[in-house]
Amino acid sequence: MSRRPEILFPLFAELTKLDGIGPKMAKNFAKIGVERPRDLLFVLPHSLINRALIASVQDVQPPCVVTVEVVVGMHRPNAVKGRPYRVTVQDAKTSFQLVFFHAHKDWLGEQLPSGQRRVVSGKVELFDGVAQIVHPDFILRVEAADAIPSNEPVYPLTAGVTQKTMQKAVASALTRAADLPEWIAPSLIAKHGWPGWLEAVQKGHAPEKPSDLAREAAPRERLAYDEIFAHQLTLALARAKLRRAKGVVTVGNCKLRNRVLAALPFKPTGAQLRSVGEITTDMAAPLRMNRLLQGDVGSGKTLVALLALLTAVEGGGQGVMMAPTEILARQHLEALQPLAENAGVVLEILTGRDKSGERRGKLAALASGDIQILVGTHAVFQKDVVFSDLRLAVIDEQHRFGVRQRMDLGNKGAAVDILVMTATPIPRSLALATHGDMDVSVLDEKPPGRLPVDTVLVSKERFDQVVARLKVAIAEGRQAYWVCPLVGESEIVEWAAAEERFRTLRAALGEDVVGLVHGQLPSAEKDAAMARFVAGKTKLLVATTVIEVGVDVPKASIMVIEQAEKFGLSQLHQLRGRVGRGADASTCLLMYAPPLGEAALRRLKVMRDTEDGFKISEEDLRLRGAGDVLGVAQSGLPRFQIADLEVQADLQKIAQDDARLLLFEDPDLDGERGQAARVLLYLMEQEKAIRLISVG
């Protein structure tokens, strides 16, 4: 059992061990998450007060902090209770006033004896045209003026904690910091000119000029790297552990894959072939695969998945493909079953909807290996679902599944290879932070012949025109989606809005041509509505975001999104990805409720101007922040205190490579640098990593 290194003990002591911190103050600190001396080290100053002595308040532009030497003049005590006590002072060029509220006359007389010289420091302001300092921070005899720090760090505060308390506490915490062994590769240290850890924290708290506060300042950058590296090392440990869990060697013979490819009306793209190659190489290795397949909507991930699943079957095992919704699972079934059948492979579906008899039959066939490929929903996670020899689990549209479920699925086989597919192009920085434990294949090439989708912004005031246009398009035999707005958190409200819209559109376009799907509909009705739309019986499908992910109806060429300004960019991109899949030129109408704010307008313009999912996700990240881009299910985001996840992507990449290399060279972290890395993991409180290194 690994335990916290002794060198860190002083930093993990009670906060009350620090100078000036009693139990009450400790409670105040806890409000900003500061519970141990260690925590204080990573609360860096956000700005800097220059208290270097200057000649006169006339030399600065108030309001600002100054330090000047003055001769004390007249005292003017508060004549009326509640009015301030004023002391006139004279610096090298001008006279100004020191102002005190609720002043103690005797104390002031002692501090500022008339006719004597003092150094005062504080914020000078103009009041009625006269310069004044209210409650100076320092009033000292000239001989004692050295006690004024010439550069004073300014910290983020909370109620009950003053700058002085904070500064004192930090200084005290710094005395507990030891010179820790170096965990960063020497070459990186040299390349970036980074100081050692102790020097970095010391300097981080002692900025001397504004540029010392910049993200790129060497001490800060090093501390940021430490945070990022600790996180990447955690991910790398998780990855190593997964890979080490003895993988099953699955080698295909291409027979089934070739049969399927021969039956397709198109050729796979280069990116599809490359990804299949990467996947089958992983499957053939004795390590466990943990791979992410990233590909924009319409890039053809399903085919890649099928070829990988067929490899599992060729290798004598089974494969499973998980979809986030019933609709998608059915769609996969419909797309894949004919291809599988044609190749002589048994492919079945398992969802929560199977009746008990049917379900029992399927479970038996799975356990005996008669079902070779299973397509399913969450229902597959259930305990009684047992495979004969599961080799590969494909998880489609992963952002709907949590990381834990990914792991659960992995437990269904001896050492199931895992392929996660996502259509949400995640900005590189976030991908590194959240998927650093995976290897990544990218489908960066779309199947040929796709027409661009014409995206138009339209005010909801033109609702009637839009409906009239739809009527014409439908008469021409085209099909369309109509996505209803997100009306808050409740599905019920969303559903009510969809039903309401369904009624209006049906009245306008005709009873038979309009269908409806939303999450609250009984599943049989949902299927029926989808089926009617796929078959072209209904021409317009009114829907909530249930159609967001993966739905593929090539004949649909119009997408109307109501209150588009309420959606995230990535979500709009997903929705728009439902059209532009067939031979017809497609249109996407982004309907908004005016007046549109500037930010909202900018977002919708991004949608209008590009169809590149990566560009859109980068923009989404800039406009909304990481949490929103990834959504709730994906909250595997680290919370960095110093590093900036969104802009320090380069450091993340460096850290990822370095962490993987370190583990490759020293898998148990027992070498010199490995031991140092352990100290880092404890320092950064990487609980998960610590558990991983503890179990060995």
Q: Which residues bind Mg ion (CB under 5 A)?
A: 550
> Which residue number, 37 or 300, has a Cβ lying nearer to ligand ADP?
300
Residues 237-256 that bind ligand ADP (CB under 6 A): none
> Which residue number, 107 or 266, has a Cβ lying nearer to Mg ion?
266
- Residue matched to tokens 């305990």: 383
Q: Please state the closest distance from residue 453 (CB atom) to ligand ADP, in A.
A: 14
Alpha helices in 58-157 (DSSP H): 105-111
Site for ligand ADP (CB under 6 A): which residue of 581, 618, 621, 629? 581
Quick one: what does residue 568 bind among ligand ADP, Mg ion, none, with the CB cut-off 5 to 8 Å set by partner type? none
Residues 401-430 that bind ligand ADP (CB under 6 A): 423
CA distance 75 to 87: 5
Quick one: what does residue 299 bind among Mg ion, ligand ADP, none, with the CB cut-off 5 to 8 Å set by partner type? ligand ADP
Is residue 268 a contact residue for ligand ADP (CB under 6 A)?
yes
Q: Please state the closest distance from residue 572 (CB atom) to ligand ADP, in A.
A: 15
> Which residue number, 166 or 534, has a Cβ lying nearer to ligand ADP?
534
The token pair that represents 537 in the structure block = 């019986």
Helix, strand and coil percent figures for the chain, each rounded to 5? 45, 20, 35
* Among candidate residues 501, 549, 512, 553, the one with its CA nearest the CA of residue 530: 553
Q: DSSP state, 644?
A: -
Q: Any residues with CB less than 8 A from the CB of 138 and at least 6 apart, and which?
A: 51, 67, 119, 120, 121, 122, 147, 148
Region from 138-146, 219-227, 497-505, 546-554 binding ligand ADP, contact rule CB under 6 A: 546-554
Region from 16-24, 261-269, 509-517, 559-567 binding ligand ADP, contact rule CB under 6 A: 261-269
- Residue matched to tokens 């704010």: 597
Region from 220-228, 483-491, 549-557, 614-622 binding ligand ADP, contact rule CB under 6 A: 549-557
Planar angle of CA 94, 99, 102, nearest 5 degrees: 165
Q: Please state the closest distance from residue 440 (CB atom) to ligand ADP, in A.
A: 15
Q: Please state the closest distance from residue 196 (CB atom) to ligand ADP, in A.
A: 47
**How distant, in Å, are the alpha carbons of 494, 501, 639 from that of 506?**
18, 8, 48
Q: Please state the closest distance from residue 300 (CB atom) to ligand ADP, in A.
A: 3
Site for ligand ADP (CB under 6 A): which residue of 153, 295, 410, 413? 295
- Residue matched to tokens 């008339």: 114
C-beta of residue 296 within 8 angstroms of C-beta of residue 579: no
Beta bridge partners of 453: 586
* Among candidate residues 392, 343, 384, 350, the one with its CA nearest the CA of residue 367: 384
Q: Please state the closest distance from residue 461 (CB atom) to Mg ion, in A.
A: 35
Is residue 297 a contact residue for ligand ADP (CB under 6 A)?
yes
Region from 203-211, 265-273, 504-512, 628-636 binding ligand ADP, contact rule CB under 6 A: 265-273
The token pair that represents 289 in the structure block = 């695969």
Region from 14-22, 210-218, 299-307, 511-519 binding ligand ADP, contact rule CB under 6 A: 299-307
Is residue 299 a contact residue for ligand ADP (CB under 6 A)?
yes
Tally helices (H) and strands (E) across the chain: 24, 22
> Which residue number, 276 or 604, has a Cβ lying nearer to Mg ion?
276
> Which residue number, 207 or 550, has a Cβ lying nearer to Mg ion?
550
CA distance 133 to 97: 6
E strand or H helix that includes residue 74: strand 64-76
C-beta of residue 536 within 8 angstroms of C-beta of residue 475: no
> Which residue number, 204 or 550, has a Cβ lying nearer to Mg ion?
550
C-beta of residue 629 within 8 angstroms of C-beta of residue 431: no
C-beta of residue 275 within 8 angstroms of C-beta of residue 443: yes
CA distance 137 to 483: 60
The token pair that represents 618 in the structure block = 């980068």
Instruction: Read off the amino acid at residue 461.
Output: E
Region from 180-188, 263-271, 433-441, 591-599 binding ligand ADP, contact rule CB under 6 A: 263-271
> Which residue number, 340 or 498, has a Cβ lying nearer to Mg ion?
340
Q: Please state the closest distance from residue 27 (CB atom) to Mg ion, in A.
A: 51
3-class SS letters over 159-192: CCCCHHHHHHHHHHHHHCCCCCCCCCCHHHHHHH
The closest residue (CB) to ligand ADP is 300
Residues 650-679 that bind ligand ADP (CB under 6 A): none
CA distance 575 to 297: 9
Quick one: what does residue 426 bind among ligand ADP, Mg ion, none, with the CB cut-off 5 to 8 Å set by partner type? none
Site for ligand ADP (CB under 6 A): which residue of 302, 538, 617, 648? 302
Is residue 298 a contact residue for ligand ADP (CB under 6 A)?
yes
Tell me how far the alpha carbon of residue 360 is from its chain's centroid.
Answer: 41
Is residue 327 a contact residue for ligand ADP (CB under 6 A)?
no
Is residue 550 a contact residue for ligand ADP (CB under 6 A)?
yes
The closest residue (CB) to Mg ion is 550
DSSP assignment of 592-634: E-SSPPHHHHHHHHHHHH---HHHHHHHHHHHH-HHHHH-GGG
Tell me how far the alpha carbon of residue 189 is from its chain's centroid.
Answer: 28
> Which residue number, 446 or 653, has a Cβ lying nearer to ligand ADP?
446
Quick one: what does residue 631 bind among ligand ADP, Mg ion, none, with the CB cut-off 5 to 8 Å set by partner type? none
Quick one: what does residue 317 bind among ligand ADP, Mg ion, none, with the CB cut-off 5 to 8 Å set by partner type? none
Residues 111-150 that bind ligand ADP (CB under 6 A): none
Is residue 301 a contact residue for ligand ADP (CB under 6 A)?
yes
C-beta of residue 323 within 8 angstroms of C-beta of residue 550: yes
Backbone conformation region of residue 192, classed left if phi is above 0, alpha if psi is from -120 to 50, else beta: alpha
Is residue 270 a contact residue for ligand ADP (CB under 6 A)?
no
CA distance 449 to 565: 30
* Among candidate residues 536, 528, 530, 572, the one with its CA nearest the CA of residue 555: 536
> Which residue number, 338 or 671, has a Cβ lying nearer to ligand ADP?
338
* Per-position x/- string for 430-459, each x denoting binding to ligand ADP as judged by CB under 6 A, each - no binding: -----------------x------------
> Which residue number, 44 or 309, has a Cβ lying nearer to ligand ADP?
309
Q: Please state the closest distance from residue 323 (CB atom) to Mg ion, in A.
A: 9
Number of residues that bind ligand ADP (CB under 6 A): 18
Planar angle of CA 140, 145, 146, nearest 5 degrees: 145
Quick one: what does residue 297 bind among Mg ion, ligand ADP, none, with the CB cut-off 5 to 8 Å set by partner type? ligand ADP
Is residue 300 a contact residue for ligand ADP (CB under 6 A)?
yes
Residues that bind ligand ADP (CB under 6 A): 266, 268-269, 272, 295, 297-303, 423, 447, 550, 552, 554, 581
